[in-house]
A and B are shown apart, each in its own frame.
Chain A
Amino acid sequence: MPWRHKWSIGAIAFILIVIAGLVYWFNGLSDKKPLDITVIIKSTDKSIEFWEVLVDGIHEASQEFDTNVQVWGSKAETDVDEQIALVEKAIRGRPDAIVLAANDYDRLVPVAEKVKKSGIKLIIVDSGIDSDVAQSIVATDNVNAGKEAGQAMKQHLEGPAKVAIISYVKNAASHIDREKGVREILSGNPNIELLDTFYVEGSEQNAYLMAKEILNEYPDMLGIVGLNEPTTVGAGRAIRELEVKERVKLIGFDSSFNEIKLLDEGIIKATVIQRPFQMGYLSIKTAVEAVRGKKIPGIIDTGSLLITKRNMYEEENQKLLFPFVGN
């Protein structure tokens, strides 16, 4: 009897509709399944506060969005091969999303493309790669950060002055962007003479020596911009040693115990810091949204903040400058 079949099909359809209705009323059960996210950072070295704080943000977000997060990383930031191997391993684990802070701008591109091919969402945090396979990039806008440093330098300089920029390495994207920002603000100013950028080949000691040379060469009003933490601290040490903090205005990037001391002493006039907690938190939040199929922006700027001696102990800045990581 065919009509009986029709009737039972109708009944089943009716029941299914009712189930759907119930599920809808209960606001979805499937939504609650925890996601698996693998995070691969640049370094698991506990002494690097930046990554510790970033991981803190990751854990905070993973609690809030109910995700199972695994955080991996090569021991040293320079170990590109190990990081590639970690990404391969992560792909084999088939998580819902991978959050990656790339150790190398070029060499991680193939493996990142493999992530995309495997159908796993890729979110880049802090340091990008030369490819657009990532769903989203959560990082500081370094050009903007450079502009902030440039503005600070402009305010601190009185009368005609020369400005030297010290860069850590030659081909790091973040440094190029920061330098671009600094130059954009300072160039075209009649009072300011921008010197060629000095490269210190990835060493704080080199930065110190280089700064000393510069200080000796230019005995007049001078501004120095250190594009990251070691260059800033190296230059700061030179200024402290030569006792020229009145004459030389040092603007730095990032923060560390040494930088804070130099800020306290008044040697560093200002430093531009990032928000690693936000980066970690937003990278997970964005990954979750990407997996859930929500529309996410391609680039999320976590912003930067100018810290001076005057505002360094303000409530809002203390947490950033003095990360409270389990101590």
Chain B
Amino acid sequence: MGIFSRLRSIQTNMVLAFVILILMTILIMSITSYYLTKEAVHSKAQAYTTELVKQVNNNIKSYVSGMKSMSDLVVGNHAVQQYLSTEKFNSLAEEKKAKEAVSDMLESMLVSRTDISSVNVFGYGGQFVTGRKDLELNPYIDIASLSWYTKAKEAGGESVISPSHVQPVFKDHYPWVVSLSRELISRDGETKLGVFLVDLNFSVMNDMVKEIRLGQRGYLFIVDSTGKIVYHPQQQLIYSTLKSEMIDQVLEIKNGTFTSDEGSDSRMYTVQDSDFGWKIVGVSYVNELVDNQNEVRLSFIILGLICIVIAIIISFFLSQRVSQPIKQLQDSMKEVEKGNFNIHVSVPTTIEIGRLARAFNIMVGKIKELMSQTVLDQEQKRKSEINALQAQINPHFLYNTLDSIVWMAESNKSREVVLMTSALAKLFRASISKGEELVSIGTEIEHITNYLMIQKMRYKNKLDYQIEIGDSVQHYLTIKVILQPIVENAIYHGIKMKHGPGLITITAEETDTDIYLIIEDNGKGMDEEKQRTILLPAPQLGEGRGVGVRNVHERLKLYFGAQYGLTYKSALDQGTTVYIRIPKSIPSVKEELGCLGDTSGR
């Protein structure tokens, strides 16, 4: 069975339709619910990231505000003001004492503060005081050129927070720090005294932020207000342009979230602005936001597959239910084809197929009925034939004829006796005629001639007859003994009832398809009532007028079809004309007959 022919099968079609339908449904459902789930997780992740970034921001803010409060203390500190504003100390000892007051104050700030790398005061007069007594200035560094110094000067008394950087100010120390610097101004606000610097160990922030991972690849980074990176786990990759960060967009928004458009590598930025100019940014990879994405996908796939398998099984059963009775019906039809009509299909519960099965049963019943009808018809035919034969061997006719023969013999009319007897013999031979049903019109004419000859001898001048049949119709076939009952009828009920001699004429007419044998008598004729009823089936079969005629009519109809048979035309005291209509062609029968005729000719 080819694929395409299978595609035409109802079962395959149904299974396919079911599977496709269910597949589509499952696909649409899974995709929708997958995206809904994703959306939900997405917003959850966003909320989580925002919370986390806020937390980091608060921690960082606490460090920065710690540094700020240190700067506040130093700015307003009397000792610092004193030391920096004094242009010239009276003695070295006095200078040393003032310096020590400042350094003690700074040192006290550093107590239990491991996060602070150093606290320093740089006077514009070249003074330098640090809270870490072990630190020396790096002689090769021009402090005034460093950015935290210049920026503090520009800010005029405001705190300046640097990005993370290496602090090269101290000899043999290169720590990573975040610097807060602030210009020191005298209390009266007139004189600028110097710059205060506090360095926060950057490792404090680094350690805090480094450990935070948003998903597998997500991370936090920090930029300052100018877009310089304070912290980034992949800082080096960014400097060498192996990676890039959406710094411009980060700087544009204060707080909030946006997503970069990088296809499968899209990143979600969650920005939190700290109040000192930094922005804490959480970066998550969008395709990672659904943490258990794979499990979600997998469960959707597995569920989908299970549904598909179930769908296929169900559709198999369903289509089986539909197609099975059809197949059964088909099998029964094949039985019928073989000729077995004794079949009854059980009616399935499905309405449509049930109807079909019922209709099939009815049809088979009808066929069966028709078949038996045909058989019945055949039987009828045989019966009619026997009747016809009986009609031939009408005993009255026989003993009347024999009576005539006896009478003629007594009168020594031996020539007539011979004639009559031989005609009688011919008549019987013809009517028995080898048991065949069909004979040529010629034979039939011969038969009726013999009959009429006998009757003529009996009735003498009372009866006269004429037979005018052209050669062209002689060879056509007809069933036998159709003329005799009609002629007999014409004699006994037509001519015999009439005064004076009667004439019977037998002629033939032909049309394209049919032949009409016409028997005309000038006897008594029939009234209309008689005409109407003569061909109708009699209430009982038996003697009396018309039995033979009716038999002829029925046989013709059985043999050749309903349109064939007898037609009566009659007028009282005028005579009667009977038309026998028979078809010209009964080819199949003719052939068979020709063959039979051959064998019988021997």
What residues make up the interface of A, taking CB atoms closer than 8 Å to B?
3, 7, 11, 14-15, 18-19, 22-23, 25-27, 29, 32, 57, 60, 63-64, 66, 257, 260-261, 264-266, 275, 277-278, 281-282, 303, 313, 315-316, 318-322, 324, 326-327
Write 21 A-B pairs (CB below 8 A) sorted by A numbering: A7-B6, A11-B19, A14-B19, A22-B304, A25-B31, A57-B236, A63-B213, A63-B217, A64-B217, A66-B216, A260-B174, A261-B172, A265-B140, A282-B242, A303-B240, A313-B146, A313-B168, A315-B165, A315-B229, A319-B235, A319-B239
Least CB separation from B174: chain A residue: A322
Asked whether A26 lies within 8 Å of B237 as measured between CB atoms, the reply is: no
CB distance from B209 to the nearest CB of A (A): 12
Chain B, 1-16, contact with A by CB distance < 8 Å: what is the 0/1 string?
Answer: 1000010000010000
Known: A18-B23, A322-B174. A264 touches B141 (CB 8 A): yes
Q: Does B336 contact A (CB under 8 A)?
A: no
Question: Which of B49-57, B294-302, B422-430, B541-549 lines the interface with chain A?
Answer: B294-302
Q: Are B217 and A313 in touch, CB under 8 angstroms?
A: no
Q: Which residues of B contact A7 (CB under 8 A)?
A: 6, 12
CA distance A30 to B269 in the complex (A): 28
A263 closest partner in B (C-beta): B140
Q: Least Cβ distance of B201 to chain A in Å?
A: 9
Tell me, rounded to whole Å, the shortest Cβ–Cβ distance linking B572 to chain A.
81
Given contacts A22-B304, A64-B217, A264-B138, contact A277 B236 (CB under 8 A): yes
B4 to chain A, nearest CB (A): 13
- Contact A29:B174 (CB < 8 A) given known A3-B6, A18-B23, A264-B138: no
CB of B64 closer than 8 Å to a CB of A: no
Q: How many angstroms from the CA of A291 to the CA of B287 in the assembled complex?
A: 22
CB atoms of A23 and B237 under 8 A apart: no
In the complex, which residues 127-144 of chain B have their Cβ closer than 8 Å to any Cβ of chain A?
A: 138, 140-141
Chain B residues numbered 1-58 whose CB sits less than 8 Å from any CB in chain A: 1, 6, 12, 19, 23, 31
User: In the complex, are the beta carbons of B165 and A313 less than 8 A apart?
Assistant: yes
B26 CB to nearest A CB, Å: 9
Chain A positions within 8 Å of B236 at CB level: 57, 275, 277-278, 281, 319-320
Q: A264-B141, A318-B165 are in contact. Are A26 and B297 (CB under 8 A)?
A: yes
Beyond A281-B234, A303-B240, 11 additional contacts (C-beta under 8 Å) are: A15-B309, A19-B301, A22-B301, A26-B301, A27-B264, A32-B294, A63-B217, A282-B242, A315-B228, A315-B229, A321-B166
Give the distance in Å from the alpha carbon of A92 to the alpha carbon of B301 in the complex: 36
Q: A11-B312, A275-B240, A315-B228 are in contact. Are A19 and B217 (CB under 8 A)?
A: no
Distance to closest chain A CB from B114 (angstroms): 13
Secondary structure of the A side of the interface? Answer: helix
Residues on A with beta carbons closer than 8 Å to the beta carbon of B165: 313, 315, 318
Q: Is B176 within 8 A of A322, CB to CB?
A: yes
Counting CB contacts under 8 A, is B507 at the interface? no
- Interfacial residues of chain B within 233-277, with CB under 8 A of chain A in the complex: 233-237, 239-240, 242, 264
Interface presence of B163 (CB below 8 A)? yes
**Chain B residues near A18 (CB, 8 Å)?**
23, 308
Residues of B within 8 A of A264 (CB): 138, 140-141, 168
**B312 in contact with A277 (CB, 8 Å):** no
Check: B375 CB closer than 8 A to any chain A CB: no
Complex CA gap A146/B82 in Å reads: 55
CB contact between A322 and one of B31, B166, B308 (< 8 Å): that residue: B166
Complex alpha-carbon distance, A319 and B202, angstroms: 13
Q: Which residue of A lies closest to B11 (CB)?
A: A7
Q: Which residues of B contact A277 (CB under 8 A)?
A: 236-237
Pick from B228, B287, B294: contact of A29, CB below 8 A.
Answer: B294
Q: Tell me, rounded to whole Å, the shortest Cβ–Cβ distance linking B233 to chain A.
A: 6
Contact A19–B305 (Cβ < 8 Å): yes
Which residues of chain B are within 8 angstroms of A19 by Cβ–Cβ distance? Answer: 301, 305
The 8 closest A-B pairs by CB, nearest first: A277-B236, A264-B140, A316-B239, A26-B297, A322-B166, A318-B166, A3-B1, A64-B217
A265, B239: Cα distance in complex, Å = 27
Q: Which of A260, A265, A321, A324 has the most CB of B within 10 A?
A: A324
Nearest to A265 among chain B residues (CB) is B140
B206 within 8 A of A: yes
Q: Which of B234, B264, B294 contacts A60 (CB 8 A)?
A: B234
Q: Which of A278, A318, A324 contacts B242 (CB 8 A)?
A: A278
Instruction: Determine how close the nearest CB of chain B comes to the CB of A106; give it in whole angstroms.
Output: 32
Q: How far is the CB of B290 from chain A (nearest CB, A)?
A: 11
B442-481 vs A, CB cutoff 8 Å, 1 = contact: the mask equals 0000000000000000000000000000000000000000
Residue of A nearest to B228 (CB): A315
With A15-B305, A313-B166 given, is the CB distance from A324 to B237 under 8 Å?
no
Given contacts A11-B312, A275-B236, A319-B236, contact A324 B176 (CB under 8 A): yes
Inter-chain CA distance A303–B242, complex, in Å, is 12
Chain A residues within an 8 Å CB radius of B242: 278, 281-282
Given contacts A281-B242, A315-B163, contact A29 B297 (CB under 8 A): yes
In whole Å, how far is B226's beta carbon from the nearest beta carbon of chain A? 11
B505 within 8 A of A: no
Q: Note all chain A residues with C-beta closer than 8 A to B298.
A: 29
CB < 8 Å: which of B146, B233, B294, B308 contacts A15?
B308
Question: Is B203 positioned at the interface, with any CB of A under 8 Å from its CB?
Answer: yes
Cα–Cα, bound, A42→B242 (Å): 25
What residue in chain B is nearest A261 (Cβ atoms)? Answer: B172
A324 to chain B, nearest CB (A): 5
Nearest Cβ on chain B to A108's Cβ, whole angstroms: 28
Taken together as a complex, chains A and B put the C-alpha atoms of A303 and B305 apart, in Å, by 52
Cα distance A315–B234 in the bound complex, in angstroms: 14
| Complex Cα spacing A32 to B166, Å | 39
* Cα–Cα distance between A8 and B216 once the two chains are bound (Å): 42
Cα–Cα distance between A314 and B424 once the two chains are bound (Å): 152
Q: How far is the CB of B419 from chain A (nearest CB, A)?
A: 83
List chain B residues, Cβ under 8 A from A281. 234, 236-237, 242
A266 CA / B141 CA spacing, docked (Å): 11
Q: Given A15-B305, A66-B216, are A60 and B233 also a contact pair (CB < 8 Å)?
A: yes
Q: Which residues of B contact A32 (CB under 8 A)?
A: 294
The answer to whether B202 touches A324 (Cβ under 8 A) is yes
